[in-house]
Amino acid sequence: QVQLVESGGGLVQAGGSLRLSCAASGRTFNVVGMGWFRQTPGKEREFVASVNWSTGRTYYADSVKGRFTVSRDKPKDTCYLQMNSLKPDDTAVYYCAAGNFPWRFQVTYYDFWGQGTQITVSS
């Protein structure tokens, strides 16, 4: 089992920045990649970004490319999502996830999930 705890959510004005953190614990040696997803009411959870835990290779949804940066700190077992130039459309609950296929963008490829953190971007 892997436990994930997100932090760093909040309210920000459009154009602002936030950084999310996801601390992993438990059997983290089994994790190949970590990803970030987001969800708004009535919509499916969507892929935002992911990182290969070993190589550091990153993947992004088109909607966040150039604005968001995903990274990982291996000694701390922590994944980050730096979000810049935020837009009202980025408002959602953001979830951290861990799995074995970071190059896959579907929810089903991730086995462990955090509790989610709310990001609200005001216009």
CA dist., res. 100 & res. 109, Å (int):
7
In Å, what is the CA distance from 74 to each residue of 30, 31, 88, 103? 13, 11, 32, 19
Question: What is the residue-averaged pLDDT of the chain?
Answer: 95
What is the tens place of the pLDDT at every residue in 57-114? 999 999 999 999 999 999 999 999 999 999 999 999 999 999 988 888 999 999 999 9
Eight-class DSSP state of 1: -
Of 82, 121, 116, 96, which is closest to residue 33 (Cα–Cα)?
96
Neighbouring residues of 65: CB distance < 8 A, sequence distance ≥ 6 = none
Sign of torsion over alpha carbons 96, 101, 106, 107: negative
pLDDT, position 28:
83
